[in-house]
Structure 1
């Protein structure tokens, strides 16, 4: 296997990204569809960062920036490629993006039941903030 290339996703890769997430990511999102992924990449071409090896997506992270907050979502690595430094490379790319945009702190969305994810985020220097909870409301389409 070649060392993965870390790069921004392309709009035409939406189906491949969704297939990758189905195999590699914990949980699902209301935006897990081709229009949702395409809209993300078209609105902010550098937000969805991929690790690609031999033409196959082996890792991803969404590095969302709204001008105020730097937020990470969907950090995932293909099960057969874990423990090879891919998540570290993805997080480094996200940190570089946020720093260039003027970000000062990064928030990461992590499923409570994702034990492996919690260990990874802790090892990457993130700390859980128990005083915060996520509040959501779906928008009717």
Structure 2
């Protein structure tokens, strides 16, 4: 068995990966993520998650200020209007969370717009009445 640790570098973060090789099979584990400022992105820590959420909220508030709903589709505009907030958001959160929150924001906006449209058309919201015995 051979174990090696590699520092992978991309434009947003540095990640430490441990590769465990046993014959024909290789197992890769991402053991920690470190942001550009050297901050720990251990998501098992509530403080780390809260820092990410705070940066996300600041970035999304900036997007709201500039009437940008979809930060993925309108990524160039989002970067132009909110460069500082976006950079901090990307530094404080892991990549999968960044994409997830951007997609969730757009999905929730579309859901709200659809519900408003249904209400304007006279639709009535019916609460489910389900009970389990």
Give the structure with the larger helix fraction.
Answer: 2
- Is the pair's TM-score, using the shorter chain for normalization, greater than 0.5? no
TM-score normalised according to structure 1 size: 0.27
TM-score normalised according to structure 2 size: 0.28
Higher relative contact order (CA 8 A, sep 6+): 1
